[in-house]
């Protein structure tokens, strides 16, 4: 793979994999480092990418594994005060904090079973097609569809319940 | 002449139904991202929020890759130069050693010739009436018959 091909086929995927890295590492800085580290690895092994049938799914897998390694590598931290922990949480801007809807949907997704959660995140946030999702989840396309279908139905039902409850509260 | 069919307009309700049952296509989902209402809009706002990436992410990453490449190139150039110097010094040493060897050989040949010449000068006629009684590096004792 030439530099030009790498810049066209691989480098733009940084934008796609970044949200997944941030989801997994819960930090913008760590997510950036992970994506950069992966892109560096991919650049160094760009000749092997020519043999890869689905570059997008492969890049997602590389980033996912790098993030899992980073999570494993981290030592557990013991906090003396709760405020110490709060200081380490990712800092959201005011607009994000105000956006209740985003937080509610995030909470609903967090409560989904792990494989459904991953399927809905890979499809809706990362914008992958079913073949790519199936490859990343090590499953087949039909099951990836089922997972997404169940996840979306569940999100809709739970969100509608919360939304209806809030509407009643407002009245 | 080829007739172009007008693009089928998106039916938002149908797309929304298909979306929540997990049967929508990526293009339909992109359409929902651009225009939707109600619960779909809330969900798409969430998606857009989660898709946010740092500005200029690609360029920043590429610059870092380039910087590391240059550093690596510099290190490999340095190693290359150092290796070349070592090879040159080695070759020079071998040449010097060979020259020294050749000088020694030349000296040895000269000594050999000198000794040969000296030996010829003091050579004893073995066919004459003389018998060598003793000979070493310094002395030769000859007996006349």
Clarify whether residues A63 and A51 are in a common domain: yes
Q: Give the Cα separation of A71 and A66 in Å (integer).
A: 9
Clarify whether residues A67 and A123 are in a common domain: no
The residue among A95 and B24 whose pLDDT is bigger is B24
Clarify whether residues A156 and A73 are in a common domain: no
Which sign, positive or negative, has the C-alpha torsion B59, B65, B71, B73? negative
Domain at A1, CATH number: 1.10.1740
Clarify whether residues A86 and A56 are in a common domain: yes
Clarify whether residues A60 and A118 are in a common domain: no
How many Å lie between the alpha carbon of B83 and the closest alpha carbon of chain A? 24
Q: Give the Cα separation of A1 and A16 in Å (integer).
A: 20
At A6 the three-state DSSP class reads helix
- Contact in structure between A36 and A114 (CB atoms under 8 Å): no
- In tens, the pLDDT along A112-167 reads 999 999 999 999 999 999 999 999 999 999 999 999 999 999 999 999 888 777 66
Q: What is the mean pLDDT of residues A40-62?
A: 89
Per CB-CB distance under 8 Å, the chain B contacts of A40 are 64-65, 68
For A164, name the nearest residue in chain B, comparing CA atoms only: B39
**Number of other CB atoms surrounding residue B75 within 10 Å:** 10
- In tens, the pLDDT along A63-103 reads 999 999 999 887 666 666 666 665 655 555 545 544 788 88
Within its chain, how far is the Cα of A74 from the centroid?
A: 19
Region of residue A32 (phi > 0: left; psi between -120 and 50: alpha; otherwise: beta): alpha
- Contact in structure between B47 and A106 (CB atoms under 8 Å): no
How many Å lie between the alpha carbon of A19 and the closest alpha carbon of chain B? 6
Region of residue A141 (phi > 0: left; psi between -120 and 50: alpha; otherwise: beta): alpha
- In tens, the pLDDT along A5-24 reads 999 999 999 999 999 999 99
The residue among B83 and B129 whose pLDDT is bigger is B83
Supply the Cα-derived Rg of chain B in whole angstroms. 49
Show the tokens assigned to A3. 């530099």
Clarify whether residues A99 and A160 are in a common domain: yes
Number of domains in chain A: 2
Q: What is the DSSP-derived secondary structure letter of residue B7?
A: P
For chain B, domain boundaries: 9-53, 65-145
Residue ending a domain, choose from A41, A65, A91: A91
ipTM of this complex:
0.77
Element (H, E) at A130: helix A130-136
Q: Give the Cα separation of A6 and A9 in Å (integer).
A: 5
Clarify whether residues A99 and A84 are in a common domain: no
Clarify whether residues A113 and A152 are in a common domain: yes
Clarify whether residues A47 and A129 are in a common domain: no
How many Å lie between the alpha carbon of A153 and the closest alpha carbon of chain B? 6
Q: Give the Cα separation of B97 and B24 in Å (integer).
A: 81
Residue ending a domain, choose from A91, A124, A146: A91
Clarify whether residues A108 and A79 are in a common domain: no
Within its chain, how far is the Cα of A50 from the centroid?
A: 26
Domain at A158, CATH number: 1.10.10.10
Which pLDDT score is estimated for B113? 87
pLDDT above 90: residue B36: no
Domain span including residue A31: 1-91
Clarify whether residues A50 and A84 are in a common domain: yes
Q: What is the mean pLDDT of residues B51-67?
A: 90
Q: Give the Cα separation of A153 and A86 in Å (integer).
A: 33
How many CA atoms within 13 Å lie on the side-chain side of A104?
Answer: 19
Clarify whether residues A32 and A87 are in a common domain: yes
Per CB-CB distance under 8 Å, the chain A contacts of B61 are 11, 14, 35-36, 39
């Amino acid at each position: 793979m030439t530099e030009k091909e790498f810049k066209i086929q691989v480098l733009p995927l940084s934008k796609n994999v970044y949200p997944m890295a941030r989801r997994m590492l819960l930090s913008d800085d760590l997510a950036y480092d992970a994506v950069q580290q992966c892109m560096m690895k991919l650049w160094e092994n760009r000749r092997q990418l020519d043999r890869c049938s689905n570059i997008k799914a492969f890049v997602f897998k590389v980033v996912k594994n790098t993030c899992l390694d980073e999570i494993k590598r981290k030592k557990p931290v013991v906090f003396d005060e709760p405020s110490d922990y709060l200081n380490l949480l990712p800092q959201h801007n005011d607009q994000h904090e105000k956006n209740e809807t985003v937080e509610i949907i995030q909470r609903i997704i967090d409560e989904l079973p792990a494989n459904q959660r991953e399927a809905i995140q890979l499809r809706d946030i990362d914008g992958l097609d079913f073949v790519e999702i199936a490859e990343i989840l090590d499953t087949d396309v039909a099951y990836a569809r089922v997972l997404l279908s169940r996840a979306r139905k569940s999100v809709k039902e739970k969100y509608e319940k919360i939304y209806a409850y809030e509407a009643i509260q407002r009245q | 002449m080829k007739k172009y069919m007008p693009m089928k307009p998106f039916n938002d309700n149908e797309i929304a139904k298909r979306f929540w049952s997990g049967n929508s296509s990526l293009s339909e989902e992109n359409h929902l991202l651009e225009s939707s209402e109600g619960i779909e809009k809330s969900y798409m706002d969430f998606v857009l929020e989660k898709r946010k990436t740092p500005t200029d992410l690609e360029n920043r990453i590429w610059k870092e890759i380039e910087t590391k490449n240059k550093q690596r190139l510099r290190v490999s150039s340095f190693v290359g130069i150092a290796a070349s110097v070592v090879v040159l010094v080695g070759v020079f040493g071998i040449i010097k050693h060979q020259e020294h060897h050749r000088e020694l050989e030349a000296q040895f040949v000269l000594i050999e010739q000198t000794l040969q010449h000296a030996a010829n000068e003091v050579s004893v006629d073995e066919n004459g009436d003389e018998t060598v009684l003793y000979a070493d590096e310094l002395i030769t004792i000859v007996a006349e018959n």
